[in-house]
A and B are shown apart, each in its own frame.
Chain A
Amino acid sequence: MKLNGAQILVDCLKSEGVKHIFGYPGGAVLHIYDALDACTTMDHILVRHEQGAVHAADGYARTSGKCGVALVTSGPGLTNAVTGIATAFTDSIPMVVISGQVPSAVIGSDAFQEVDAVGITRSCVKHNFLVKNADDLAQTVKKAFYIATTGRPGPVLIDVTKDATIAEIDYEGYPETISMRSYQPEVQVNADQVAKAIDIIASARQPIIYSGGGSVIGNASEALTALTRRTGFPITQTLMGLGAYPATDKQSLGMLGMHGTYESNMAMHGSDCVIAIGARFDDRITGNLEKFCPDAKIIHIDIDPSSVGKVVGVDVSVIGQVNDVLRALIKGLENKELPNIDAWWQQINQWREVDSLAYKTKSGVIKPQTAVEALYEVTQGDAIVTSDVGQHQMWAAQYYPFDKPRRWINSGGLGTMGFGLPAAMGAKLAEPELDVACITGDGSIQMMLQELSTMLQFHTPVKIINLNNGYLGMVRQWQEFFYDKRYSMSYMDALPDFVKLAESYGHIGIRVEKEEDLKPALIEAFKQKDRTVFIDIITDPTENVFPMIPSGAGHHEMLLAGRDEMASTNDSGLNLV
């Protein structure tokens, strides 16, 4: 069949089963848009900024487990997409991004809208390709999806020159299979390593399971739950891992790390056996490495060998798909008797009594924590919640316990403000039947605000919960604690009227200034099934996120709300920021 490169590309995407493409046109991709126009099986979502396209594809991928797809033009289209690509890369999200490139004959001549896309994105993609020849397109697309979705997933960029989209060639169809000598993601779980892990588990007296984003991305929620129940061990989850194990279950200690619960962090510190599952010992999790889990043997389960030993030395590593490894562990434990850990649970329950998430309400102001709790109640804990970055993100993670995986969508690794709104749009397209809430802040929402327009055009009704504290709150908090309350550039005067703003975009806007209006407003908003509602909640501008491990401190050196004065940390701690 004679087709041009653009038509081939579209056929490849169709053959991959792609249903949604998020993108923005421009000169270098006009042939591709022309071919898309004739395609009836894929919906193209026209965003208002390329970063929004990539975040939306990302939210779609995180929610559905499928590969997200974004399409952008050359030059500024590509550079606008980079933040989104880096965000997906840091959190290991499967994604294929297609960018246009100037014609191959003028590459290197500083042509109009030419940038070295492969060079610019090299360090924030799992892999990238430059395609200059229509003959290479089908094979490259096949490779790109294969690489993006297997092993440790990640974004793959395909940069396609304009002439490659124009050239007409004989197209033999999309390849059925692919094999690459340099990329073999399948790993057999090593039985010896599993046996060694079981030995450690079977002699643990103060064990803890520390589960991360890999348990969500690796669809290992069931196996993780089975292992946790089988062992009776306490489990703590990272910001990226929330939902893989039900947070409301009694074995769950909540989140760990900088703003994790007291019981999680104390249990990590006191543990003699840490089972790290799909987690990478991020600095926001470990606190001061010199004080990290001083008495624990560490078992590390991960798909990526380079994660092992990168930050923390471990006693046993088991490389493989998290699911496979957990199943092997469960099997290996079948006839094993585990030591009684009642004493450990007693200790943990004492730490729980500290009630580290308790906060004081104040009459006349809405506490942001109360707003998140109200959202939890109104949605019965069953919404997909996306978030932006800042204090509101931490409160969302702390006060909205997730019982299911792929319900909590946030930029944990890169911490990209602006992620929440487009991600919510992608999530709604992936799960149209579920309620989607975007918990955001007055700073973050303004970074991708323009996507409100996309959301009207493409009918993705979500509920925007703006925890409006009038500040870049997380920055303000650090300045209060560590910079002697010198609030340099963290106060945003001249905020827009978010209600009018939402209305001008064709959505519903509600402002909530009193606590008693909170729940009725949320109930009213979620009744509007097919409308996007912007709920602007005026919250206490001075509230801080607690508990907190100040940088430089260990897990056992947490500061609790209203109980500890924030001692200023040492310089080496501040260096960690």
Chain B
Amino acid sequence: MRHIISVQLENESGALSRVSGLFSARGFNIESLTVATTNDPTMSRMTIVSIGDDNIIEQIIKQLNKLIDVVSVTDLTATEHIERELLLVKISLKNDSQAEVDRVLDGFDAKIIDASEEAYTIELAGKSQKINDFIEAFDADKILEVSRTGVTGVCQKI
């Protein structure tokens, strides 16, 4: 199953490689990993999406907790949570395809953040599934470049 694991850790140099090193050394899978500092500049939050059975996820959480720099680990998927991912994508407007592209955009809550004769740069935030659907709504040859941030998330409970 797919799990979203949220990790609070000391904002120390090397903390990221401790986490990524742990995943590769123990053969755990990483679908995506995002990290940035929080409002407390000494603390970072990392969001990891991993796929594994319950035993593997339990080991991942225990091993993360064992890292000295890690302050807390939460399996977001075990509770009510909100997840979002940000997509930046360049879509070609060549061959008079603008009308068709606009039609697709209408169906999603996407924003054009840069436009030229040849292409749009589009921003879309949402669950990973929505981002996948959006990308799939275009012909492959229309997509010039895709950049996704990977998932970040928070617990819904206060």
Contacts and interface: CB of A to CB of B under 8 A. Distances in A.
Interface in B70-90: 70-71
Given A119-B17, A182-B9, A126 B68 contact: yes
Interface in A112-138: 118-119, 122-123, 126-127, 130
Given A130-B14, A182-B10, A309-B59, A304 B66 contact: yes
A122 B18 contact: yes
Contacts of B71: 181-182
Contacts of A126: 68
B58 A309 contact: yes
B24 to A, nearest CB: 9
Interface in A288-344: 304-306, 308-310, 313
A182 B68 contact: yes
A306 B63 CA distance: 6
The size bracket of the interface on B is 10 to 19
B116 interface: no
Given A122-B17, A122-B18, A130-B14, A183 B68 contact: yes
A129 to B, nearest CB: 9
A186 to B, nearest CB: 15
A147 B25 contact: no
B55 interface: yes
A305 B65 contact: yes
Given A122-B21, A123-B21, A123-B25, A182 B59 contact: no
Consensus secondary structure, chain A interface? mixed
A435 B42 CA distance: 51
Consensus secondary structure, chain B interface? helix
Given A122-B21, A306-B63, A127 B68 contact: yes
B2 interface: no
A183 B71 CA distance: 7
A183 B66 CA distance: 8
Contacts of B59: 306, 309-310
B123 interface: no
B130 interface: no
A141 to B, nearest CB: 15
Interface of B: 9-10, 13-14, 17-18, 21, 25, 55, 58-59, 62-63, 65-66, 68-71
Given A182-B69, A306-B62, 10 more contacts: A122-B14, A122-B18, A123-B21, A147-B68, A182-B68, A182-B71, A304-B66, A306-B66, A309-B55, A313-B55
